[in-house]
Amino acid sequence: NAGVTQTPKFQVLKTGQSMTLQCAQDMNHEYMSWYRQDPGMGLRLIHYSVGAGITDQGEVPNGYNVSRSTTEDFPLRLLSAAPSQTSVYFCATRLAPSRTDTQYFGPGTRLTVL
Amino acid sequence: GDSVTQMEGPVTLSEEAFLTINCTYTATGYPSLFWYVQYPGEGLQLLLKATKADDKGSNKGFEATYRKETTSFHLEKGSVQVSDSAVYFCALSTGTGANNLFFGTGTRLTVIP
């Protein structure tokens, strides 16, 4: 049982490049989400999904796209990378979009945009 | 909107000292409250949670009580260890819509021998 996996662990991009951060889970969780973590700002929600085929925007969605074609995978796409997107990105999952459920986090992807 | 305000850090304590990290919240619904911990180089993991007023969450010697009257969820531990050095995040699940989690800014704790 791998839990929540993220690839890659580290990535360096040039301004204007695009890339996809991968997130996969093997816990059959309905709810998946992406956060970015910046110094002094905690974690901010980018996008989330309450099930396959359903996605919605969080607090800071600009510059990012998501899709959820399967229960297991929830990739995050950067369309045209900017230095402001330098951050650590975490994928997180919950069994259901319930206010009491525990949220499980992946190990993170550290992205640097030059 | 819903938000969490967390005690600024960093916090440095000697081993066996008492720890308090303050957390207050603003919410329009009936939130659940969480403390997550992040060890160096890792993702966040749940430390404890409380899902209704007056509930006490506890784990690994840490405790926090959901106080609706003061909108607080302060984290405490009676005797910290070097292995408790980490960043601690207070979070709330909104109790509305998709019940997304909103996080505080985090408090870095360093425990010195």
Task: Return the HEC string of B82-98.
Answer: HHHCEEEEEEEECCCCC
| Cα B108 to the center of its chain, rounded Å | 12
- The pLDDT score that the predictor gives to residue A45 is 95
| A75 touches B: beta carbon within 8 Å | no
Are A41 and B100 within 8 A, CB to CB? no
* A42: nearest CB among B42, B89, B94: B89
DSSP category for residue B67: B
Residue B107 or A96, more confident? B107
B66 contact partners, CB below 8 Å, separation of at least 6: B33, B50, B51, B52, B53, B54, B55, B56, B57, B73
- Chain B residues near residue A110 by CB distance under 8 angstroms: none
Q: Indicate if the pLDDT at residue B24 is higher than 80.
A: yes
Q: Indicate if the pLDDT at residue B17 is higher than 90.
A: yes
Long-range contacts of the stretch A100-103 (C-beta < 8 A, 24+): A100/B32, A100/B49, A100/B51, A100/B93, A101/A31, A101/B93, A101/B99, A102/B34, A102/B46, A102/B49, A103/A33, A103/B34, A103/B46, A103/B101
| Cα A97 to the center of its chain, rounded Å | 16
Residue identified by tokens 């045209």 is A80
Residue B88 or B3, more confident? B88
Cβ atoms A107, A22 nearer than 8 A? no
- The per-residue pLDDT for range A62-95, each reduced to its tens digit, is 999 999 999 999 999 999 999 999 999 999 999 9
- The per-residue pLDDT for range B38-87, each reduced to its tens digit, is 998 888 999 999 999 999 999 999 999 999 999 999 999 999 999 999 99
